[in-house]
Structure 1
Amino acid sequence: MDDRSKSAERPASPGVDRALTVLECLVEADEELTLTALAKVTNIPLATCASIVYTLEQRGYASRRVVGRSHFWRPTLRLYGLASQLVRDTDLSRVATGEMRALADRLGMPVHMGVLDGHSVVYVAKAATPGFVQFDTYSGKIAPFNLTALGRAIAAYLDPDELDPLLSKLTPGRGPNAPKGGKKAFRALLETVREQGYAVEQEEEQAEISCVAAPFFGIDGSVAGALGVTGFARDLTPDQMRVAAAGLVDLTTEVSRRLGCPPESLPSVVPVS
């Protein structure tokens, strides 16, 4: 949980900021929290924290379990319902449904579309492949931006004032190739992404899973999201990675065109061979 007391900027509405902090804390917690624990973690006065969770309960965003004199709080799925509705209503998820399906069938691997939300990537669409083995990816999934090819592809084309705050949110990976460098190493990685036009992630977020992704751009020429392919590391060999990258770059160029991005605003990259 972020230490909001150290923030250099005073929020426009301290009350809303505190309410969101409590809600985020409940969602991110691994277990139910007592009111005292919640106030301590969020650094919000106990009485204020109580008012917030009672309001969240009245609105259906939190519930409590009473054990003796202790009340244990947890979030409800109402927030998920709002997020799911937002994902369903996102036009981006329908921009290239057919082409995503065709690429997934050609590669034999699922194709995803993701957008940046804060320091996380949100999956807004997926073209799955048939078969018994399915990856734990779905519309609405959230992942750290720096540990996914989708997030790296987007981050590489952010303006400095958008990228700089994210660099303090680098999440450690759990895979055997988890990156050990800090901000400087990640900036160098993003430079490579810009040079080749696509991003890769190889067993960094988790073991045996790799991915490759390319960015697409909106009507104002700014990066709007990314399309990526996920597969087992043993299947995404260097040759297959290049094939997937070439297909993704072609597809993201078309998606950018459909979103109204002027051709001259697209980045100039070396063609994937």
Structure 2
Amino acid sequence: MTDADRSPSPAVARTLTILETMVTSDEDLTLTALAKKANVPLATCASIVYTLEQRGYAARRVVGRSHFWRPTMTLYGLATQLVRKTDLSTVAQPQLRRLADTMAMPVHIGVLTGASVVYVAKAATPGFIQFDTYPGKVAPYNLTALGKAIAAHLPEAELRPLLAQRAEGKGPKGRPLSEQEFLAELALVRKRGYALEDQEEQADIACVAAPFFDATGRVGGAVGVTGFAKDLSGRNRKTAQTELVELGRIISRELGAPA
């Protein structure tokens, strides 16, 4: 008996498994490959995929006599609407503003969507220099402190598919770590309560971030400070670490996380 068979609605469980398999796959899949990878009977998989195609959630690419399936951006549209409804920009806004003013660096809130972090809120700082970290920005999860702070607290079943989707950054430290090294870094994040990014996504840019949790106790996102690597070091980094861990606790309480 599979997990889908034990579900209150096996049909829904299999549909979600098909979607998740397509989204996390590095390549388009034939129907046979998709059914095997998702552990769903071929006939059932075909019915689900054809329905997803009718609803705009899946598309096929025909090569000769083979059909290759992939998810569409319709899923992203749904996720974007959900992010907008979850108005994290208003959560702990005074504290975001205070920390941005204290550090003289922007403070962000990010959530995980697939293998990417989406910036959903920002407390900016005045001045001529503005970091390219606007609400709506999308970045590979493994190249940001926000993404690492979230990934460190994901259940293994959700983290495992992401490990194969680690991107290479443009900074001098942008080469992806080995899987073992990355898992060790996430374990350190869990232990100390915050994550660091130092010139991985972009040269000269660093970030510190801490996670926050929702009413179910699951990691809901992360809050972070971004600055020039030369500025976000020493005493400034220690201040950011302490303040962000506390801010993560405040946001968690605002979201109703268990004590």
Normalised by the shorter chain, which TM-score bucket? 0.7 to 0.9
Tell me which residue corresponds to 1:269.
none
Whether 1:15 and 2:50 are equivalent positions in the alignment is yes
| Residue of structure 1 aligned with 2:98, choices 97, 102, 109 | 102
What one-letter code is carried by the residue in structure 2 that aligns with 1:256?
S
1:124–1:180 distance in 2 versus 1, CA, 3 Å: closer
Tell me which residue corresponds to 1:178.
174
| Residue of structure 2 aligned with 1:115, choices 111, 114, 128 | 111
Asked if structure 2 preserves the Cα contact closer than 8 Å seen for 1:87 and 1:140, the reply is: no
What one-letter code is carried by the residue in structure 1 that aligns with 2:194?
Y
Aligned-residue Cα RMSD (Å) equals: 2.9
Offset, 1:80: 8.9
- Distance in 2, matches of 1:22 and 1:86, equals 23
Aligned to 2:164, the other structure's residue is in SS state: helix
Q: Where do 5+ consecutive residues of structure 1 fail to align?
A: 24-37, 62-77, 264-273
Kindly, what percent of the aligned residue pairs are identical? 50
Tell me which residue corresponds to 2:205.
209
Aligned to 1:99, the other structure's residue is in SS state: helix
Asked if structure 1 preserves the Cα contact closer than 8 Å seen for 2:198 and 2:205, the reply is: yes
Aligned to 2:133, the other structure's residue is in SS state: coil
Whether 1:223 and 2:219 are equivalent positions in the alignment is yes
- Distance in 2, matches of 1:138 and 1:4, equals 34
Tell me which residue corresponds to 2:156.
160
Asked if structure 2 preserves the Cα contact closer than 8 Å seen for 1:83 and 1:140, the reply is: no
1:17–1:145 distance in 2 versus 1, CA, 3 Å: farther
- Distance in 2, matches of 1:86 and 1:143, equals 18
Whether 1:246 and 2:242 are equivalent positions in the alignment is yes
| Residue of structure 1 aligned with 2:85, choices 80, 83, 89 | 89
Asked if structure 1 preserves the Cα contact closer than 8 Å seen for 2:152 and 2:187, the reply is: yes
- Distance in 2, matches of 1:4 and 1:261, equals 39
Asked if structure 2 preserves the Cα contact closer than 8 Å seen for 1:87 and 1:139, the reply is: no
Q: Deviations over 1:20-75 (max 9, x none)?
A: 4559xxxxxxxxxxxxxx756xx847xx99xx9xxx9xxxx9xxxxxxxxxxxxxx
| Residue of structure 1 aligned with 2:140, choices 138, 144, 158 | 144
- Distance in 2, matches of 1:153 and 1:244, equals 14
Q: Where do 5+ consecutive residues of structure 2 fail to align?
A: 1-25
- Distance in 2, matches of 1:104 and 1:260, equals 24
Whether 1:237 and 2:220 are equivalent positions in the alignment is no
Q: Deviations over 1:4-26 (max 9, x none)?
A: 33440156731365554559xxx
- Distance in 1, matches of 2:142 and 2:218, equals 19
Offset, 1:172: 1.3
Aligned to 2:232, the other structure's residue is in SS state: coil
- Distance in 2, matches of 1:79 and 1:164, equals 21
Asked if structure 1 preserves the Cα contact closer than 8 Å seen for 2:101 and 2:125, the reply is: yes
Aligned residues: 220
1:261–1:4 distance in 2 versus 1, CA, 3 Å: same
Tell me which residue corresponds to 2:8.
none
Asked if structure 1 preserves the Cα contact closer than 8 Å seen for 2:167 and 2:176, the reply is: no
- Distance in 2, matches of 1:234 and 1:17, equals 49
Asked if structure 2 preserves the Cα contact closer than 8 Å seen for 1:153 and 1:213, the reply is: yes
1:135–1:184 distance in 2 versus 1, CA, 3 Å: same
- Distance in 2, matches of 1:188 and 1:80, equals 30
- Distance in 1, matches of 2:50 and 2:236, equals 51
Offset, 1:187: 0.2
Asked if structure 1 preserves the Cα contact closer than 8 Å seen for 2:79 and 2:113, the reply is: no
Aligned to 1:213, the other structure's residue is in SS state: strand
- Distance in 2, matches of 1:193 and 1:79, equals 30
What one-letter code is carried by the residue in structure 2 that aligns with 1:207?
A
- Distance in 2, matches of 1:108 and 1:133, equals 11
What one-letter code is carried by the residue in structure 2 that aligns with 1:93?
S
